[in-house]
Structure 1
Amino acid sequence: MYALLILDMQVGLFHGPDKPWAGEALLNTLNSLLSKARKAGAPIFLARHVGPPGPPGSPIEPGSPLTQLVQELLLQGDEVIFEKSRPNAFAMTDLADRLKACGSQGVVIAGMKTQYCVDSTCRAARDLGFDAVLIADAHTCSDTPALKAENIVAHHNATLAGPFCRVVRAEDWCF
C-alpha cells in the first residue's frame, strides 16, 4: 500500500508574495490525488512546515495563521495533519512510524517547495526503506534569482528519478 504525502501547502507559502509556478494546476492535481487516495483507501498525510522561528511575518512562523493549510485543498477530516520544522518531513517527526503502522511500504510525495522539502523528503524516504514516488506534475516552487520555477521542477524530476524515487505523472498513478 502507498500513502499520499502532501507537503507544505500552506497559506503563507502558496498565497504569499512569491507565487508558486502553476499554482492552480497544482491544486487541481492535488485534489485529484486526494480523491484517488480516498477511493483506494490509502492513508493521507499532510505536513505543515512550522518553524524554526524566523523573522516576524515569516510564512513558517510558529502560531501564525500563515502556516495553516490552504482552503482550496478538498480535505474531509480523514487525513493526518502534522507539523514539521525541517525540510525533510521525516526529520524529528513520527511520519516513518505512522507509515509503518498503517502498512505503507511506499509514499507518494507532492506539494511544495520542490528544491527544499520535496527534494529532501524524497531522498529521506528511500533511505528509510520506503518506495518513494514523486508525482512529476504535483509539486512546485517559486522563481529564484538563478532559475525559473518551471526549470527547478523539471531539474528535480530528472535528478531524483531513479536513485531517489520513481517519478510518475498524476494521471498515470494508481494507489
Structure 2
Amino acid sequence: MYALLILDMQIGLVHGPDKPWRSPELLETVNALMDKARSAGAAIFLARHIGPVGSPIEPGSPLTMLAPELRLQGGEVVFEKRRPNAFSLTGLADQLRACGATGVVVAGMKTQYYVDSTCRAARDLGFDAVLIADGHTCSDTPELKAEHIVAHHNATLAGPFCQLVQAQDWTF
C-alpha cells in the first residue's frame, strides 16, 4: 500500500519571490493526487519545512503555512521537518509503517533539495518510492532553468531510487 507524501507546498515557496516553474499546474496536480489518495483510502502526509528561530521560516511563520490552494479535508497528517530529507528526525517512517504503507508517492517542492533527498532516503529505509514526474517543481537558479532541473532529477532518480510515473497514470 502506498501513502501520498507532499513536500513543502508552503506559502514561502509556492508564493515566494522566486516563482516556481509551473506552480498553478503543480497545485492542480497535487490536489488531484490527494483526491485519488482519499478515494483509495490511502494516507496523505504533508511536510512543512521550518528553520531556526529568528529565520524567515521559523516555527509559526506565515511562510511555513501550507498554500491555501491545497484542498485539505482534515484527515491529512501535517508535520514539520527541519532537514531536506522528510524522514530525517521526523518519525515519518514509523508513521508510514503504522498505517500499513510500504511505499510513498512523492510530490511537491523543491526538486533539487527536498524531493531528491526524500526519494533517495525512502529506498534506504525500505519503502518503495514513486516520484510523480509532473508533480514536483522548483525555481530557476543562476545555473539552470527549473524545467531542466526537474527533467534532470526525473532522469537521475528514476530506476535506482524510485519509479517515475505521470500523475494521470498513477492509481493508489
TM-score, normalised to structure 1, is 0.96
Distance across 1 between alignment mates of 2:108 and 2:71: 14
Distance across 1 between alignment mates of 2:52 and 2:149: 25
Distance across 1 between alignment mates of 2:38 and 2:118: 22
> Offset at 1:53?
4.4
Q: Any unmatched runs of 5+ in structure 2?
A: none
Poorly superposed stretches of 4+, deviation over 2 Å: 52-55, 60-63
Distance across 1 between alignment mates of 2:79 and 2:105: 16
Q: How does 1:85-100 map to 2 (within 5 A)?
A: 85-100=82-97
SS in 2 for 1:19: coil
Question: Residue in 2 aligned with 1:50?
Answer: 50
Question: Residue in 2 aligned with 1:28?
Answer: 28
Residue in structure 2 matching 1:77, options 74, 77, 97: 74
Distance across 1 between alignment mates of 2:12 and 2:34: 22
Question: Residue in 1 aligned with 2:2?
Answer: 2
Q: Deviations over 1:23-65 (max 9, x none)?
A: 000011001000000000000000000113464xx2x222211
Letter in 1 for 2:69: E
Q: How many residues align?
A: 172
Distance across 1 between alignment mates of 2:125 and 2:53: 28
Q: How does 1:106-117 map to 2 (within 5 A)?
A: 106-117=103-114
Question: Residue in 2 aligned with 1:137?
Answer: 134
Q: Percent identity of the aligned residues?
A: 76
Distance across 1 between alignment mates of 2:118 and 2:62: 24
> Offset at 1:137?
0.3
SS in 2 for 1:69: coil
SS in 2 for 1:46: strand
Q: Deviations over 1:114-133 (max 9, x none)?
A: 00000000000000000000
Distance across 1 between alignment mates of 2:63 and 2:115: 19
Residue in structure 2 matching 1:168, options 140, 165, 170: 165
Matched, 1:65 2:54: no
